Amino acid sequence: MSEALLVACPHCHTLNRVPHTRLAEAPVCGRCGKRLFDAHPVALDAASFDVHAGRAELPLLVDFWAPWCGPCLTMAPQFQAAAVQLEPQLRLAKVDTEAVPALGARFGIRSIPTLVLFRHGRELARQSGAMSAADIVRWVRAQRG
């Protein structure tokens, strides 16, 4: 099988075509040369969100948060730890709802932190409230069957 996936670079947001079998082999971006997976959530704005959620083919897990939100800051290292476990099967991203209010409004985010799982631009599931890394991983895997 040489099936390939479109993977958005977390650094320059260019779409890269990566064979499924090579996802775990530390692929690099054809444009900027940086790793497509570096075990860190990527911070998205409205434009890069559309690339990662709508055009890239990996499922996208977004942490909607804000800098003034205590539980969000508590969860940040847990989300980071979840990225280590979930990449490269999933892209993890953060949307600062204060810096990018349009995205919070578009998805009707009423409380933070809220995690939303997207696939091909469609929302599959969401969960509000701070979670541990183990709970995040368990929740995501439950959504995907």
Q: Please report, as ranges, the residues that interact with Zn ion according to CB under 5 A.
A: 9, 11-12, 14, 29, 31-32
- Residue with the two structure tokens 């990662």: 52
**Closer to Zn ion at the Cβ: 34 or 106?**
34
Q: In the bound complex, what is the minimum distance in angstroms from residue 16's beta carbon to Zn ion? A: 8
> Measured at the alpha carbon of residue 5, what is the angle toward residues 7 and 87, in degrees to the nearest 5?
55
For residue 75, give the nearest of 41, 126, 38 by alpha carbon: 41
Q: In the bound complex, what is the minimum distance in angstroms from residue 18's beta carbon to Zn ion? A: 12
Q: In the bound complex, what is the minimum distance in angstroms from residue 92's beta carbon to Zn ion? A: 17
**Closer to Zn ion at the Cβ: 48 or 78?**
48
Q: Which residues are catalytic?
A: 69, 72
